[in-house]
């Protein structure tokens, strides 16, 4: 059987991303052997380390890595070079290739509402990566584009590169008085538009789908509103083609956004830490629980308590099958109960059972701690891992990890780097804590 293809989105923060909804709905409906999750990273370099070491087929890139990640790939598509940022990466036989699908996403999302963009007067707020992509996409459709930015020098620089006009935000009221389309790529909480400036004939798109004050004002004024989720959808469609070299079911991806999916916030009372042996799950769980005021549980400790003997003794006297049975019983007892504010560190093999994976994903906020097992193996010195009590533990660890890698990915809401060359338990717990705080 062909191994599962791993795909992800990376950024800082990234836990809020809705991209997994689009892709995983497609994979499930079309029975495609692939899974899509989120990767937390502190830099583009770290994100690419995880991309390579975890063996991903493709990755979407969001703020703030779109520009910096250009230096981390082997080839850059001409459109992405012109825009100055990458949002889609694929792993091909000729190297890792970076693309930008944001520009097609913004153009198509507006075209679906208003038809042709030729000759339309468009205002783009913001001169960052998303603003550049929006402007590039509109210019490609023969629109008349003005980039408005708080720093006029930045707007002028981008406008000069793309071949459009630049303006200060101070001129926004006047610009909007004769504009057809307004696109905001400003950060959450940056509000520069007054409701009175919006005319009913205006088409408004806010790239920020998490919380859009501009969108609410546009609806109040009778404008045509293009949701940020539409941009997300229409950039994901060509990204899917780059990843899997086939056309997605667009209706299926749209349904994933439209249907009432269970929000991550409903799962945050129970946090799961999964990952291979030696990734620091137990240590990180204790530190994270202290930060969040949660209670910490360790599945291996609970198994030993229930069996009355150590895990190596369970393996030696009763075999792995008995251990997995006990492990499943512990999982069911924990996740079928109405627990609140707990963090569970699971054993490395908990994901081998499909029912376990489904329950962890459904009922918990699942964090995959990733590390190269052959690198973190030095942290396992006490003989407590029966599967590694062999002549060549490094090679055995590598083989076991590769067998489980797809299961970890399938279970994960978020991957966090726990490789010992990058992080220690304190910094890993802090990263998870930051993602949770910024999302919820």
Secondary structure of residue 74 in the 3-state scheme: coil
pLDDT tier at 46 (50, 70, 90 boundaries)?
very high
Q: What is the pLDDT of residue 421?
A: 82
Alpha helices in 4-87 (DSSP H): 19-30, 44-53, 78-83
What is the average pLDDT across 59-67? 95
State the chain's mean pLDDT as an integer: 92
Q: What percent of the chain lies above the pLDDT cut of 90?
A: 83
Give dist(CA 376, CA 150) in Å, integer.
47
166-210, pLDDT tens digit by residue?
A: 999 999 999 999 999 999 999 877 889 999 999 999 999 999 876
Model pLDDT, residue 216 = 93
Output the pLDDT for position 378. Answer: 63
pLDDT tens digits, residue range 314-328?
Answer: 999 999 999 999 999
* Interstrand relation of 270-275 and 342-345 (parallel, antiparallel or unpaired): parallel
What does the pLDDT average to over 31-51? 97
Q: Which domains are seen in the chain, by residue range?
A: 5-100+232-258 (3.40.50.10860), 103-226 (3.40.50.720), 264-439 (3.40.50.300)
Question: Annotated active-site positions, please?
Answer: 66
Determine the average pLDDT of the residues in 221-237.
95
Convert 93-160 into a string of H (helix), E (strand) and C (coil).
CCEEEEECCHHHHHHHHHHHHHCCCCCCEEEEECCCHHHHHHHHHHHHCCCEEEEEECCHHHHHHHHH
For 168-192, letters b (16+ CB in 10 Å) and e give: ebeebeebbeebbbbbbbbeeeeeb
């Amino acid at each position: 059987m062909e191994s599962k293809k791993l795909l992800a989105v990376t950024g800082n923060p990234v836990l809020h991303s809705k991209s997994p909804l689009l892709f995983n709905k497609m994979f499930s409906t079309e029975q495609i052997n692939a899974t899509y999750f989120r990767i937390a990273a502190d830099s583009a370099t770290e994100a690419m380390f995880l991309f390579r070491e975890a063996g991903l087929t493709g990755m979407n890139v969001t703020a703030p890595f779109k520009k910096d990640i250009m230096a981390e790939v082997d080839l850059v598509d001409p459109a992405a070079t012109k825009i100055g940022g990458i949002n889609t990466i694929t792993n091909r036989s000729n190297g890792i290739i970076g693309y930008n699908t944001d520009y097609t996403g913004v153009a198509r999302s507006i075209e679906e509402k208003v038809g042709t963009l030729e000759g339309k007067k468009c205002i783009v707020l913001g001169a960052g990566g998303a603003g550049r992509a929006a402007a590039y996409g509109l210019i490609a459709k023969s629109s008349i584009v003005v980039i408005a930015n708080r720093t006029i020098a930045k707007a002028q620089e981008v406008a000069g590169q793309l071949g459009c006009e630049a303006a200060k935000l101070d001129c926004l009221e006047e610009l909007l008085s004769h504009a057809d389309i307004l696109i905001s790529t400003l950060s959450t909480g940056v509000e520069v538009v007054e409701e009175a400036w919006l005319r009913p004939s205006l088409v408004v798109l806010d790239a920020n789908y998490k919380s859009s004050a501009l969108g609410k004002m546009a609806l109040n004024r009778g404008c045509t509103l293009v949701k940020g989720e539409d941009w997300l959808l229409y950039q994901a469609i060509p990204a899917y083609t780059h990843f899997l070299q086939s056309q997605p079911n667009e209706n299926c991806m749209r349904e994933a956004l439209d249907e009432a999916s269970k929000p991550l916030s409903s799962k945050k009372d129970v946090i799961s830490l999964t990952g291979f042996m030696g990734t620091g799950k137990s240590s990180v769980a204790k530190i994270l629980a202290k930060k969040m005021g949660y209670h910490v549980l360790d599945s291996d400790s609970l198994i030993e308590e229930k069996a009355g003997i150590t895990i190596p003794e369970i393996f030696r006297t009763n075999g792995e099958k008995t251990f997995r049975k006990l492990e499943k019983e512990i999982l069911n007892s924990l996740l079928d109960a109405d627990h609140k504010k707990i963090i569970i560190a699971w054993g490395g093999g908990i994901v081998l059972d499909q029912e376990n994976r489904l329950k962890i994903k459904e009922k918990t906020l699942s964090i995959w701690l990733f590390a190269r097992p052959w690198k973190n193996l030095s942290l396992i010195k006490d003989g407590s891992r029966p599967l590694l009590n062999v002549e060549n533990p490094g090679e055995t660890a590598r083989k076991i990890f590769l067998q489980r890698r797809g299961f970890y990915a399938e279970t994960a809401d978020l991957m966090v780097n726990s490789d010992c060359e990058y992080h220690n338990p304190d910094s890993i717990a802090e990263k998870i804590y930051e993602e949770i705080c910024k999302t919820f």
